[in-house]
Structure 1
Amino acid sequence: MFDQFSKDAVVRPRIDFRLVSGILGGLIFCLGVSMLLPCLIALIYHEASWSAFLITAGGTMAAGGLLFYRYKPEHELRMREAFLIVALIWFLGSLFSAFPFVLSGSLESYTDAVFEAMSGLTTTGATIFGGITASGIQNPDIESLDKSILFWRSLSHWLGGMGIIVLTLALLPLLGIGGMQLYQAEYSGSTADKITPRIQETALLLWTIYVGLTAGEFVLLWLHPSMDWFEAMNHAFATLATGGFSTKNASVAAFDSVYIDAVITLFMFLAGINFALHFRMFTGDPKPFFENREFRFYVLLTAIFTVGIVGGLVITQDYSIGEALQYGTFQVVSIVTTTGFGTDDYMLWLPFSSFLLFLLFFTGGCAGSTGGGIKMIRLMIIMKNISREFKQLIHPQAILPIRLGNKVVEQKILKTILGFFVMYFIVFAAGAIIMTTMGFDMMSSMGASIASLGNIGPGWGEFGPINNYAKIPIFGKWVLLILMMIGRLELFTVLVLFTPWFWKN
């Protein structure tokens, strides 16, 4: 690939690190500004942690502002630089976001703080609070944390849900650079529905819908007497981001409310839908919403697993129909959207129901949603490809294209998706193998790996819904938090940085 030329005909390097540094500076500065919100919460509740947020916000804004001022972007952003920026902002953002946990005294270990920060920004929801670390440190329970710390965990979810990158896209044209490359890198592997011709308008519209849905859930949760405004806001942030951090040790189960379970189930399901479809619906054009084949597949798969698990709970475990519907539906939607909230300990379910739920760890929401995982569109295309292979055996000379509606899936897209599947399971297996070397059993190792890679949060075995990740050694925590980042950024966006071709002409 030949490098592009600037307007003054001067050859730019294959990767413009000045441009990368400038844009990263702007994004880091925005992250620092967001830390002022939990600082305000700390002041409202008279918590000493306000100073931790103020110091971190000041340092983050200073570092970001200095980088942006020193390397103010002057050229058009190219794809390699976009990939580098997307990967680095999630990593650097987690490093900066970890400091309030340490400076406030909530955590002693910086590794634990980075783990919690990465889990928040990648909307994974895996936590180290409430457990004893491998070095014998007792991390505090979630309910003993300052409200400002709880708010920062949920806010990091909310920012990471739609993406810090997408939020800032609206500002990039003001700097004289295009933003479509970042949008494509953020949603690598799926079709980016721009909604409007201008990417900054797209970003603003997506965020408007995101804020609107968050506000709607906040009001509905606040109406229930068991939730005050603070708990309602935190759970609304975590739900729409498909994150899963709760203000309670027992997660959503602590509220023991059918109403709250139903509201959160509904909004988890909505958060797992492509936000471009939400836009069509809200602008009075519901036809694309219901005709979208990925959405139909999402509904069908969720319904099938819900029926199977609810039936299993009723038949094999003596749950009443009402209890099975409440707990079974909640857990299905929570896992399929990679939210990770919990209302029941699925580790106590008998094999039939628990195995069905485990299969959902390998799914994910729709492309263009805040959910992680493999994504429904990829599962659809893989299933269509399997069907085509059977037909090809019967009709070896026939030309059998794969279609989504009236559109033929291009061969290069099919190859990319097949490559994604292979790489996804290689990374999952590598993560599980590393965990077994640390003495964890097979199911716990597999559960921790897929829960991190799929951005689900609660895993299996020793890392189930009522447990945490505190006991994992330092190296293991870094492995899992890297898996969180790789999974959130759709694998190739991060892994391409480790190929020699990325750094060569």
Structure 2
Amino acid sequence: MIEFLEYNKSRPRIDIRLVSGILGGLIFFLGASLILPAIIALIYGEPSWSAFLITAAGSMILGAACFWAFRPQEELRMREAFLIVTLAWFIGSLVGAVPFVISGALESYTDAVFEAMSGLSTTGATILGGVTSDGIQNPAIEDLDNSLLFWRSLLHWLGGMGIIVLTLALLPLLGIGGMELYQAEYSGSTSDKLTPRIQETAFLLWTVYIGLTGAQFLMLWAHPSMDWFDAINHAFSTLATGGFSNLNDSVAGFDSVYVDVVIIVFMFLAGINFAMHFKLFSGDVNSFLKNREIRFYTVITLLFVIGVSGGLWLIDDQSFGDALRYGSFQVVSIVTTTGFGTDDYALWMPFTSFLLFILFFTGGCAGSTGGGIKMIRLMIIAKNIGREFKQIIHPQAVLPIRVGQRVIESSILKTILGFFMVYFLIFAVGALIMSFLGYDFMSAMGASIASLGNIGPAWGDFGPTDNFAGVPYFGKWVLLILMMIGRLELFTVLVIFTPWFWKN
């Protein structure tokens, strides 16, 4: 015990060398991933191949130098894990933005960082196709090189499961454990540890992720309206619940019921805990079907599909087929925080629009690639409200909150209630800043919740047919920080700004 205490006293509160070494490895990996869009550029004969190779070379050299200069020798601790997760997403966006600028596609580095963070955080908000606050005309989505469009979708796919989770499989090579990173990435959620070794867990989750991506890619490619490039971009964006499309009209540009249905199915699957997918594919169907969060997620989705589709049919005067098609697609797209579009919901009647607006405050299951509040938290809050009513009738009764057979401890309930309070406080602050910048009520609220919830398209000036190009540069940095905070479950980012994080 004495040796252990002396060992910890000899280490600083935060081992910057350790943090720098691991971040170097992450930068190297991100640089290596830039080779893929460079290959796409060469296939299509696009000049942007040089932008990707320059960025890749610079990132790999810098990353390798940091890793070898500060090669991790010590055990990773929780503070360092939180710092690494936050910096990884921020630095990843800074690096991911470089090809957009070097290739000449975007003149503003802020716009490029916005697009990269939107991709890596799986938000799907874009600045393409609009005019910036200082009069710069950004190119339309379809005017961009295919390699740059592929890079946007690849950022989605990498961010979907999380660069950190992928790295867990490599941590044995660094000589350190990985559980701290896994906990930091999914703080406050119910992530399942499938195997005793976290590296094996990461490998299994990525196996499921790649398998589902491949299945959707083949199903989309089979349709004549899509070539292989369309299919791979939309498969990446769907499984990551991101929403970037390589068409200006998003999924609506294919005008295919088959494509809509395939994407609906895989968006819904992407909103489910990937640990439960592994159990299902391993033959443990019973655990999958009995999972309370999946049941809650399914019921909420079905209720809103019925409500929105019914509203489009009875109030918006759409045919029953169109109402079901567009209503179900938009409900699943928003509840999973994907953000794909097949119809302009901003033009719907108030009843159907309001139902969809409610879904901006939901999200997929914990352990999925979706953002938002998450279904498990909503379910526990609903159970707590029910318990309060029962407590009024039976004030002396002991009424625990249960999810299945598990009793939810009071400490977990306090954490969830705290999450709700912080979530809505950050949302309010974001909306207040956007209103200060001159946006109307719905535009300000929509931009804030769409960024914090990683949804992408919003309301008002930022509806499904609009973009974020005209937001002043300060506003863009606010929104992209909201994207990062929302993707990393709030506390992972916010904790590093507290004085307790830096004290003993």
Q: TM-score range by the shorter chain?
A: over 0.9
Aligned to 1:227: 226
Residues 4 and 11, structure 1, Cα contact 8 Å, conserved in 2: no
Aligned to 2:48: 49
Residue aligned with 2:37, SS: helix
Name 2:283's counterpart in structure 1. 284
Is the counterpart of residue 198 in structure 1 residue 197 in structure 2? Answer: yes
Q: Given residue 249 of structure 1, which amino acid in structure 2 is its aligned partner? A: N
Q: Which deviates more from structure 2 when the two are superposed, residues 85-94 or residues 397-406?
A: 397-406
**Residue equivalent to 1:255:** 254
In structure 1, distance between residues paired with 2:101 and 2:170: 32
Structure 1 position 10, deviation (Å)? 5.8
Distance in 1 between the 2:486 and 2:188 partners?
12
> Does structure 2 retain, via aligned residues, the 8 Å contact 1:280–1:286?
yes
Residue deviations 1:182-230, cap 9 Å, x none? 0010001012201111111111110010000000000000011110000
Please state if 1:144 is matched with 2:143. yes
- Report 1:129-278 matches (<5 A): 129-278=128-277
- Give, as a single letter, the amino acid of the residue that structure 2 aligns with 1:69: W
Q: Which amino acid aligns with 1:222?
A: W
Unpaired runs of 5+ residues, structure 2, are: none
Alpha-carbon shift at residue 14 of structure 1 (Å): 1.0
Q: CA deviation at 1:391?
A: 1.1
In structure 2, the residue matched to 1:119 is 118
Aligned residue runs from structure 1 range 297-376, under 5 A: 297-376=296-375
Aligned to 2:487: 488
Aligned to 2:58: 59
Q: Does 1:477 align with 2:476?
A: yes
Equivalent position of 2:85 in the other structure? 86
Shift of the alpha carbon at 1:285? 1.0
Q: Is the 8 A contact 1:334 1:342 kept in 2?
A: yes
The equivalent residue for 1:380 is 379
1:453-494 CA-partner distances (Å, limit 9, x unpaired)? 000000001000000000000000000000000000000000
For the Cα contact (< 8 Å) 1:6–1:12, is it kept in 2? no
Q: 1:414 to 1:48 in 2, by over 3 A?
A: same
What is the TM-score of this pair, normalised by structure 2?
0.99
| Distance in 1 separating the partners of 2:174 and 2:353 | 51
Over residues 391-418 of structure 1, what are the superposed CA-to-partner deviations in whole Å (9 max), with x where a residue is unaligned? Answer: 1111111111111111100111000000
What secondary structure is seen at the aligned counterpart in 2 of 1:152? Answer: helix
Distance in 1 of aligned mates of 2:71 and 2:477: 32
- Give the number of equivalent residue pairs: 504
**Fraction of identical pairs, as percent:** 73
| Distance in 1 (alpha carbons) for counterparts of 2:277 and 2:191 | 14
Amino acid at match of 2:340: F
CA shift for structure 1 position 11: 2.1
Residue 349 of structure 1 deviates from its aligned partner by 0.3
- For residues 157-177 of structure 1, the C-alpha deviation after alignment (integer angstroms, 9 at most, x for no partner) is 000000000001011012110
Aligned equivalents of 1:306, 1:55: Cα separation in 2: 47
Rounded to whole Å, the distance in 1 between the matches of 2:406 and 2:128 is 48
The one-letter code of the counterpart of 1:175 is L
Could you tell me how far 1:62 is from its partner in structure 2?
1.1
Distance in 2 of aligned mates of 1:478 and 1:264: 31
TM-score, normalised relative to structure 1: 0.99
Root mean square deviation, CA, Å:
1.3
Q: Counterpart amino acid of 1:145?
A: L
- 1:25, 1:66 within 8 Å by CA — same for their partners in 2? yes
Distance 1:474 1:346 in 2: 27
TM-aligned CA deviation for residue 288 of structure 1: 0.7
One-letter amino acid matched to 1:101: F
Asked whether the equivalents of residues 463 and 469 of structure 1 are also in contact (C-alpha less than 8 Å), the reply is yes
Go from structure 1 to structure 2 and tell me whether the alpha carbon gap of 1:3 and 1:417 turns closer, same or farther (over 3 Å shift). farther
Amino acid at match of 1:132: V
Whole-Å separation in 2 of the counterparts to 1:167 and 1:115 = 23
Partner of 1:13: 12
Q: 1:3 to 1:130 in 2, by over 3 A?
A: farther
Q: 1:3 to 1:464 in 2, by over 3 A?
A: farther
CA distance in 1, matches of 2:420, 2:234: 32
Distance 2:350 2:7 in 1: 66
Partner amino acid, structure 2, of 1:280: K
SS at match of 2:315: helix
Residue matched to 2:396: 397
> What's the secondary structure of 1:317's corresponding residue?
coil
* Shift of residue 3, structure 1, vs aligned partner: 13
Cα 1:233–1:64 shift into 2, 3 Å: same
SS in 2 for 1:77: coil
Per the alignment, residue 69 of structure 2 pairs with: 70
Separation in structure 2 between the aligned mates of residue 244 and residue 13 of structure 1, nearest angstrom: 42
How far apart are residue 8 of structure 1 and its match?
5.7
What letter is aligned with 1:344? D
User: CA shift at 1:6, angstroms?
Assistant: 8.0
- The CA distance in 1 between the partners of 2:113 and 2:356, in whole Å, is 29
* 1:6/1:218 CA distance change after superposition, 3 Å: farther
- In the alignment, the residues of structure 1 paired with residue 259 and residue 320 of structure 2 have an alpha-carbon distance, to the nearest angstrom, of 18
Q: Which runs of 5+ in 1 are unaligned?
A: none
Is the CA contact (8 Å cut-off) linking 1:16 and 1:81 kept in structure 2? yes
